[in-house]
Structure 1
Amino acid sequence: MELFKIVAFKLGEEEYGLEIEYVKSIERIHQVTRVPNAPEYVKGVINLRGNVTPIIDLRSMLSQGEANYTENSRVIITKFDDIELGLIVDQTSNVIDIDPQDIEAPSAGGIDSNYIGGIAKVQGRLISLIKLAELVGVTSN
C-alpha cells in the first residue's frame, strides 16, 4: 500500500491529521458571522472568495473545551463531496506522509471516537486521524 498525505494540526496538546485530498486551503480566522440557533460548535459562516462557508470550532465539537484564538489559530477549509466546511484549529504544523501500516484503530470509548478513523504513529508522534465524512454528516443534517 502506498503512503498518503495528511495535514497535521493541534488542538491543545493533542495532534490531529486530515487527509490532504480534502483540504482546499488553510486560512487565518476572518470575520465570522454568527448563525442563529446553530449548535454551540458552529461558530458561524465566512465569505471566502465568494463562497459562504460554515465554520466549525473543532475543539468544541470534539469536547476539548473552548478555543482561545491566537496568532497561530487557523481555519482549515475542507471539501467533502460538495460540502465545504471550515475547521478552526489551534495551529497547523506540517504535511506528513503516512504509511497505512502505521495506523492503529482508535480505542473504543474515546470522547471523540466517532470522528477518529485511527491513530497514526509517525516519527514518535501520535496523530489522531479525523474522519471528515463523519464531521460533514453531523453538520449537514
Structure 2
Amino acid sequence: MDQFVVFRMREEYYGVPIEQVQAIEKVPDITRVPQAPNYVKGIADIRNEVTTVIDLKELLQVGEVKKDASSRILLINLHGLHLGLMVDEAKEVLGIDTETVEDPPQMVGGIDQEYISAVSKQDDRLLVLVNLEKILNVHQIEEVKEAVEA
C-alpha cells in the first residue's frame, strides 16, 4: 500500500506520493516576483525559508487558486529546488492499494494524460495520481529559478 497526499483542485481530487511532500501549510502572504511566469505567484516565508510559490491550477491551465481559508501550499523538493504548490485544499494522507490503481484516461479534469501517472477509485470519488516530475519539467524549473534569482 502506497501513501499519497490528497489535494483538491476545482471538484477533482489528486494525489502525489507522500515522499515528495515535506509539509502542508496555510497560504501566507506572497510577494510577487517581477518578470516571473504567470503560474509563479511569488515568494513567501514558509517555515523560515524563502519559498517560490506556484499556482498548480494556473500551471496546468485549469484556472487559478482563489486564496481562502481552505487553500493550502504543498511544500515539495524537486530536483533540489524547494517549491510551494498552491492548491484549493489539502488535508489528508491516504493509503492506496495497488489493486485499485488503473491506467489514466486521455484527460481528467482538463489535465492531459502525460501529467497523470494513474487513477484510483476510492469509495465515492476518483483520485488522480499526478506525476510532479512531468508537471514541473526541467525547463520550467529553470524558468522559475531564473525569475526568482533575477
Q: Provide TM-score, normalisation by structure 2.
A: 0.83
Corresponding residue number in structure 2 for 1:133: 133
Corresponding residue number in structure 2 for 1:29: 27
Give the C-alpha shift of residue 12 in structure 1: 1.2
Give the C-alpha shift of residue 55 in structure 1: 0.8
Q: Mind listing any 5+ residue stretches in structure 2 that lack a counterpart?
A: 143-150
For 1:88 and 1:109, locate their aligned partners in 2 and report how far apart those are by CA, in whole Å.
21
State whether residues 73 and 91 of structure 1, in contact with CA within 8 Å, keep that contact through their aligned partners in structure 2: yes
Corresponding residue number in structure 2 for 1:104: 102
Give the C-alpha shift of residue 112 in structure 1: 2.2
For 2:79 and 2:2, locate their aligned partners in 1 and report how far apart those are by CA, in whole Å.
19
Give the CA RMSD over aligned residues: 1.7
State whether residues 83 and 136 of structure 1, in contact with CA within 8 Å, keep that contact through their aligned partners in structure 2: no
Q: What is the number of residues matched between the two proteins?
A: 139
For 1:11 and 1:109, locate their aligned partners in 2 and report how far apart those are by CA, in whole Å.
15
Give the C-alpha shift of residue 22 in structure 1: 0.8
Corresponding residue number in structure 1 for 2:87: 89
* Aligned AA (1:130): V
Corresponding residue number in structure 2 for 1:9: 7
Give the C-alpha shift of residue 52 in structure 1: 2.1
1:44 to 27, 42, 45: 42
Larger relative helix fraction: 2
For 2:89 and 2:99, locate their aligned partners in 1 and report how far apart those are by CA, in whole Å.
27
For 2:50 and 2:8, locate their aligned partners in 1 and report how far apart those are by CA, in whole Å.
25
For 2:57 and 2:116, locate their aligned partners in 1 and report how far apart those are by CA, in whole Å.
13
Give the C-alpha shift of residue 109 in structure 1: 4.9
**Match of 1:140, SS?**
helix
**Stretches of 4+ aligned residues off by more than 3 angstroms:** none
For 1:91 and 1:44, locate their aligned partners in 2 and report how far apart those are by CA, in whole Å.
19
For 1:48 and 1:91, locate their aligned partners in 2 and report how far apart those are by CA, in whole Å.
17
Q: Deviations over 1:90-131 (max 9, x none)?
A: 111311111222122222255422321111112232011121
For 2:82 and 2:91, locate their aligned partners in 1 and report how far apart those are by CA, in whole Å.
22
